[in-house]
Every structure is written in structure tokens, then in C-alpha cells.
Amino acid sequence: MIVRRLILWTTLVVLALVVVAACVLFARQGGFAPFRVPTGTGPPVANDATTLARGEYLVRLGDCAACHTTRGGVAFAGGHAFDTDYGTLYSSNLTPDREKGLGDWSADEFRHAMRYGVSRRGPLYPVFPYEHFARLTDADIDAIYAYLRALVPSANTPPANRLAFPANSRSALIVWRMLYYRPAAPMSATDRGQYLVEGIGHCAMCHSTRAAGDSVPSKGYLAGGILVGSGWYAPPLDADSLRRYSSSELADFLRTGTSPHGTVYGPMAEVVYSSLRALTAADAASMADYLKRIPPHAPPDMRLSARERFGGNSGDFGNNGAEIFKRACAECHGDNGEGKGGHYPALTNAVATRAPTPINAVRIVLYGAMPPTTPGNPRPYSMPPFAQQLSSAEIAAVVNYIRRNEPQASRVAASDVEAMAGIVLD
């Protein structure tokens, strides 16, 4: 009798605790407010020329077109595919088409989607960087809305998502939100650089260390990490990691994609090409100024999966790296990797050299790279691919050579290079 009572009471207490925990988590993701999507037409927003120009600029900085356009498709008409660990997801049509796009959305509903990541379709997948756009002021969101409304409507229907259970259900996103999503309050735009970096620029989407569920814990914010859905590594953004740039070099780097200390490649090249090159000189300067004020992060404690870590396991890491470097690389990068004439980046402190993972270095040596053409860098110098010229063992040796000051654990062998060659990185 006593035993049965004890079991009953224990069960009740455990149940009560679970309910309390669920309520707390639900409250922390914003309670019911995110799910109260505004309906109706709402008050009109201004759409004078100044507002439209402001909206257009913000849309460039938010890189909306890059994610909401397919190759060769109508701009902003959606359908761009995103491969994730749980399947393929497609972006939505942002043109003012009444059926397929945002045609009958009020400014209130638009603001709600940007702030909370919930629309009439239900909770939205966090591939849409609403966690960052939530920081924008109402006036800026309204200007974006006004600009999108002025586009030519397109009736493009993005393909249906192909996602695995349970990610295929938007209700499952409520659980994800309870565990990982904490609403960010709108910022005041007093520190323009911080406002642009944290808000519309959504730099943290790529430059953060991710934890379970692809969430960004606060100490991972801008601490550097592997991009979700690709193998590229993005470095930390803070005073320490950007020390080698002066403020004005960094401001130029953001707009032109080039500097004496490094040039952009991979996903960052796309960001500069489709977005940051539109920065005004003043905004680039405030962003650079803010980036250089971010307190240094602790050394990365990255959740590298086996496919990202590579190296250090077994095999021959090659001891002829210096010789290969002299023969194949020094002509451009200098005998000691010090760079050349402002055209060819130094390798001594480059991102690919210092990253905790060798993947950027291997990838760039295999396939080469070309910085984007920008007004500040109209004829970019490119890095040739070496996949044909060098064997996997030679690539491993030369990458280990340029990364010789990095921990032993990130050395690569020929088999690692071959494994990386097979990864589709973008």
C-alpha cells in the first residue's frame, strides 16, 4: 500500500516538474506572443522615394536577394534551395504577388515575421535569419517592406520542402524554439556599426560557434565556426582576430573584398559581391570600428564533426611541404608567405592558416579561388587550382607546411585531402 502510494506520488511530482519545465521553456521562447500573427490590412506605410531608397539599401545589406532568388530566376521570387542535415528547404517568394508572394501581407504581419520568425504559415525555419533581423528598428523593417511591395509581382511557386520527420512539421519548430530560441529585442541604432553587424548584416549567422540543434550559445556568438550546411569555416570576429587590419583597412576589406592581410573567398566572397560592396563608406567605417571593439573570444571549443576535423588521425603528413611551397606557391605568396605587392595575400596570419580546421586551406589549394569584382577591386587576382598539378600527398604536405604553427591534431594526410575533395561545400 505504502509502496503504491509512493509510486503514485513520485509519478505526479515528475509529471508536474515536466509541465513546469515546458511552461518555462515556452515562456522563454516568447510565450504566446510569437504565435499571434497579426491579421487584417493594418495601417499603410510610407512609400516615398526616400523610404524606398532606404529599403533598397537595407535589402542589399540583408542579402535578401541572395537567399530568395534561384540561379537565373526572377529576383526575390523564392525557390532557392538550402540543404540541411534534415533535408532540403526552399525560400519563399517575397514579391507582392497576392497568392504566391507577400501581396496581401500587412506591414504588421511582415514586421511580426521579421521579429519572431512566425508567419501565417506557422513557425519559420531558422535558415531565415530572423534571429538577427529581430534587432532592426520598426522604421527600418517598414522601409524594407515598402521596397519589397514596390517590386514587380511574380507568381513563382517555390517547390515544396523535402524534409525528414520530425523536421517536416512546422509544429516541431515549437520544440526547437523552446530549447534554443530566445527572442532578441529591437536595438536602438545609436551604435551604427553594432546595429548593422548584429541586425541586418546577420554576420553571426556564419561567424558563430554552433552547439546542439545548430543553436548559437552566447559564448559562441561571433566566436568563429563551421557554416551550417557547408564545410567552410568562418573565423571569429573580434579585436584579437582582426588586429592585423587597421580600422580603415578593415572598412575597405568589407566593401572591396581585398586587403594586404587577406582577401575574401568562398561564402564571404559571395557576401561581399551581393551585399557588402553596396556599403556606404561611412557605414563600412562604423562596422569596422565596431568589429575591432568586440572583446576577444576564448579559444574555440568547436563541435567539429569527424568530416570537419580531419587529420591528426593516421597516415603520412609529408615532410616535403617547404620544397613544394617554394616551387608552387612562393612566386605569388612570397618565400616566407609574407604576400606580394598587395595583389597576393600573406599566408602568415591568414584565416585558412590559423583556422582550427584545415578545410579552408585544403579546399582553396584544390580548387583555387577568385575574389569578387568590386568597384574597389575591379580586376581581382586569382589563385589557381592545384587539383591537377599536385597529388593529394603533395597538397597535404604543403597545407601542413603553411599550417605548421597549428596544433598537430589538425595535420592532414593524403586520404584526408581525398575525403575533402568529395565534399560539396556550397
3-state SS, residue 234: strand
Min dist. Cβ of residue 81 to ligand HEC (A)? 9
- Beta carbon nearer to ligand HEC, 3 or 160: 160
- Residue 154 touches ligand HEC, criterion: CB under 6 A: no
Residues 168-187 binding ligand HEC (CB under 6 A) are none
Min dist. Cβ of residue 68 to ligand HEC (A)? 6
Residues 193-222 binding ligand HEC (CB under 6 A) are 197, 201-203, 205-207
- Residue 413 touches ligand HEC, criterion: CB under 6 A: no
Q: Which of 77, 178, 365, 414 binds ligand HEC (CB under 6 A)?
A: 365
- Work out the widest C-alpha separation in the chain, in whole angstroms: 87
Q: What does the alpha-carbon distance between residue 201 and residue 181 come to, in Å, rounded to a whole number?
A: 19
3-state SS, residue 26: helix
Residue at 43: amino acid letter: P
- Residue 45 touches ligand HEC, criterion: CB under 6 A: no
Q: Are 136 and 186 in contact (CB under 8 A)?
A: yes
Binding part of the chain for ligand HEC, among 11-19, 27-35, 208-216, 361-369 by CB under 6 A, reads 361-369
- Residue 302 touches ligand HEC, criterion: CB under 6 A: no
Strands 87-90 and 162-163: antiparallel
- Residue 128 touches ligand HEC, criterion: CB under 6 A: yes
C-alpha 71: how far from chain center: 20
CA distances from 97 to 55, 92, 103, 263 (A): 19, 12, 5, 40
- Residue 57 touches ligand HEC, criterion: CB under 6 A: no
Residue by residue, DSSP assigns 150-177 as TSPP----PPPPEE-TTTTSTTHHHHHH
Residue 325 dihedral angles phi and psi, to the nearest 5°:
-60, -45
C-alpha 12: how far from chain center: 44
Q: Which of 74, 77, 94, 226 binds ligand HEC (CB under 6 A)?
A: 94
Letters for 224-243 (x = contact with ligand HEC by CB under 6 A, - = none) are ---x----x-xx-x---xx-
Residues 241-300 binding ligand HEC (CB under 6 A) are 241-242, 253-254, 262-268, 271, 276, 287, 291
Place of cell 556564419: 206
Residues 370-389 binding ligand HEC (CB under 6 A) are 370-371, 381-384, 386
- Residue 82 touches ligand HEC, criterion: CB under 6 A: yes
